[in-house]
Amino acid sequence: MQRGATIQVSSPAPAALLPTLAILGAVLLWGGSFSAMRVAVQALSPRAVMWVRMAVALAVLLPVLPRLWPGKRSMLRDWKPLMLMVAFQPCLYFWLESNALTLTTSSQAGVIASSVPLLVAVGARWFLGERTGAGALIGLVVSMAGVAWLTFSGDDRGQASNALLGNAMELGAMASAAAYMLLVKRLCGRYGPWTLTAMQVAAGALFFLPGGMTLWRAGATPWTPSLAMILAFLGAFVTLGAFGLYNWGMSRIPAGRASAFINLVPVVAVILGWALLGEALTPTQLCAAAVVFVGVWLSQRNGRASRD
């Protein structure tokens, strides 16, 4: 795209409908992963679950991996941004967040997690030349307030063993997520979204391989048909499907707009936790969820975003 070109992102734009639906599909899958992960980590260690997720996703991709994998010349040309992309997501993101949640409370982590769209909007302005209108920024702030309300209204009585370190690691995880989104937006002009997804999955399977080693010590005792189905869902749909859908959507609409939907993930998680696991869902949480929806809706009514 030539410098100085204007990108129309009016809502609802027919050209943006399918990418928006793809991103919403990714959000639904990521939100559903919380309930599935709660069940899976009762039988296996979190590190083992992460490796199985990556391994399942990689196994699904194997038949088409030779067609998706870029040539050596392309990888040599772009090896730095490609390495950074897979390092930020899934490697650093999942490692930092999983450790952060052992040190701080889920409420504090949830509030910090809501900063991702704002970090992406600022980064997109600096590195991609995307302008975010005042209405969209107001929407992002409203959605962040809704996420904060939602997380603090939940039942979180846990004590933070080291809140300062845990919150710093959670912020690092969110910075990693934001950097990943910006890199995908930059790279999707030269690589297909499923190619980038395949590279993430392969890197994740290698990075979390030590977690896979723990499966030998676990033996066959924890394995049940329901656990196998949950892990298949986490690998094939959440890890592969959600990242693929999000990367595809991100390749077709501005990064700031795509990232705004991330704040819907905790809303979906709370609702599915209530529907599937019988967790509490209070009127206060419903009001907070409505605020998040309003904020995301406002963030999409940006009229126009442009490149300098």
pLDDT at 156: 58
Mean local confidence (pLDDT), 19-46: 90
DSSP state of 41: T
- SS3 of 130, please? strand
pLDDT of residue 219: 66
Confidence band of 304 (pLDDT split at 50, 70, 90) = very low
- According to DSSP, residue 272 is labeled H
Query: Do residues 109 and 100 make contact, with C-beta atoms less than 8 angstroms apart?
Result: yes
Q: At what angle do helices 265-277 and 14-40 cross, to 10 degrees?
A: 50
Q: Return the percentage of the chain with pLDDT > 70, whole number.
A: 89
pLDDT value of residue 216? 76
Separation of alpha carbons 208 and 13, rounded Å: 40
Which tokens hold the place of 115?
A: 């900063």
Share of the chain above pLDDT 90, in %: 54
pLDDT band at 10 (very low <50, low <70, confident <90, very high): very low
How high does pLDDT run on average in the chain?
A: 86
The band of 73, judged by pLDDT with boundaries at 50, 70 and 90, is confident
The pLDDT confidence band at residue 119, using thresholds 50, 70 and 90, is very high
Render pLDDT for 228-287 as a digit per residue (tens, 0 to 9): 999 999 999 999 999 999 999 999 999 988 999 999 998 998 898 888 878 778 899 899
**Residue 218: phi, psi to the nearest 5?**
-70, -30
Of all helices (H) and strands (E), which one includes residue 8?
strand 6-8
- Return the bridge partners of 8, or none: 304
- Model pTM? 0.85
pLDDT at position 44, please? 87
